[in-house]
Amino acid sequence: MPQQAYLSLGSNLGDPVANLHACIGRLSTLGEVKQVSSFYSTEPMELREQSWFINCVVELETELAAEHLLAGIQDIEAALGRVREISKGPRTIDIDILFFGSFVIQEGSLRIPHPAMHERRFVLAPLAEIAPQLKHPILQKTAAELLSQLGTAGGIVKRLAPR
């Protein structure tokens, strides 16, 4: 049975916009890309001494189980040159699973919904753009409500022209 997965994509190395476009193209090997948010320029959050990121959120309809989706995402990251040298450091591409249907999953390194998404404007702004009424299965608030609750917290996010 197909599931709607919401993925956060980010890049701040090389040509971040081209990296996101390449990633979105490769996601079609894992399912059907249903929606893509605008691209956003976002300040780095935890490791602040690096270039700003370009981020977006993608809705993907997939037949894959969550753990197979994660494996496919990691393959795409590797194919696009992702190297994990510095935690929260610069990267050609980063793909996080935000939601997988309404499932709550905590198995190994797989945590769905993403445990920090409600604190990150760079996730919530593009998510609320394409799925404002999507409800967090644990917090029981919509993407729009979570974004509104951030107030001025959660980092600087600037919407770029629609992709």
Cα separation, 48 vs 22, in Å, equals: 26
Considering 48, 84, 91, 121, which one is annotated as catalytic? 91
Q: List, in order, residues 6 or more apart from 106 with CB less than 8 Å away.
A: 112
Q: Which of 3, 26, 158, 48 has its CA nearest to residue 95?
A: 26
Q: Is there a catalytic annotation at residue 75?
A: no
Burial class (CB in 10 A: 0-12, 13-18, 19+), 115: exposed
CA distance 34 to 4: 9
Task: List the one residue out of 152, 42, 156 whose CA is nearest residue 94.
Answer: 42
Out of 26, 82, 120, 121, pick the active-site residue: 82
Distances, alpha carbon 43 to alpha carbons 33, 59, 63, 157, in Å? 26, 23, 34, 7
Which residue of the set 94, 120, 159, 163 is catalytic? 94
Considering the candidates 96, 120, 121, 159, report the single residue annotated as catalytic.
96
Query: Among this protein's residues, is 94 annotated catalytic?
Result: yes
Catalytic (active site) residue 96: yes
Q: Catalytic residue numbers?
A: 82, 91, 94, 96
